[in-house]
Amino acid sequence: MKATRTDLETEYHGLKIMAAANLHKECISVIEGLDLPIGAKAIDLGAGEGAFSLRLVDKGFNVLAVEREIDRFKVKIPCLQLDLNSDFVDKIGVKVDLVVGIEIIEHLQNPRQFMVNCLNLLRDHGYLMITSPNLESWVSRIRFLRDGQFMWFEKGDDERWGHITPIFSWQIERICRETGATLLEISHTKSKLLWNELCDRLSGLLRNKTVYLGILYPFMRGVRMGR
């Protein structure tokens, strides 16, 4: 069954979710599975209007938001105006239990610098959650075979979405090794609604006679599913 727009969560308490529909739900579900106590300190980087910041507050976290365009942040919690392309650890000046960067790293000039800064914000045994469009998905690979461009990083997506830095799972693994961080999991979105959205985008490719490329799916490696 195809999802309707009413099935897609694009707002949280009236705040725009500046990411794929339902992605925030999946992120908070992962965070709920961590061994973090009520009142744990969290930082929401690139907070936008504050949809995920408020969701963290509603789950009992003590939240500090960070947003470059601070005028659009709408939640009544502390928010720092910072450019995440720069070193920001000293500017934030606190250690926390959880750092979240949802759909931010692909907008930045130096993902390695960003991750090192994030890790330096954590207390011992703290957690970092980062999400980014999945270039290794089978849909993205078919798109690349046809046009030589990964999905979400096509010509014009830098201006349309601000996506300037493609991120692969092996990069995350290497950065963690180099910084001594323990990588717990690399996963893809599991929402059927996101799956339907990806399939809708794929349908145009299929109409252009690229369906036969699907036979390559069993031979693809990496994180093939999700977004």
Question: C-alpha angle with apex 72: 131 to 70, nearest 5 degrees?
Answer: 80
**Domain ranges within the chain, ordered by starting residue:** 5-135+166-190
Number of H helices, E strands in the chain: 8, 7
CATH pick for 5-135+166-190 out of 3.40.50.150, 1.10.287.3510, 3.30.450.40, 1.10.1660.10: 3.40.50.150
Q: How much is the pLDDT for 203?
A: 55
Measured CA to CA, the distance from residue 177 to residue 19 in angstroms comes to: 28
Measured CA to CA, the distance from residue 193 to residue 113 in angstroms comes to: 33
Long-range contacts from 138-142, C-beta under 8 angstroms, 24+ separation: 138/214, 138/217, 138/220, 138/224, 138/225, 139/198, 139/199, 139/201, 139/202, 141/216, 141/220, 141/224, 142/202, 142/205, 142/210, 142/213, 142/214, 142/216
Q: Are 133 and 160 in contact (CB under 8 A)?
A: no
Q: How much is the pLDDT for 152?
A: 87
Phi, psi at 204, each rounded to 5°: -65, -35
Q: Are 113 and 143 in contact (CB under 8 A)?
A: no
Positions of the chain with pLDDT lower than 50, given as ranges: 1-4, 193-195, 209
Measured CA to CA, the distance from residue 78 to residue 94 in angstroms comes to: 13
Question: C-alpha angle with apex 195: 184 to 168, nearest 5 degrees?
Answer: 40
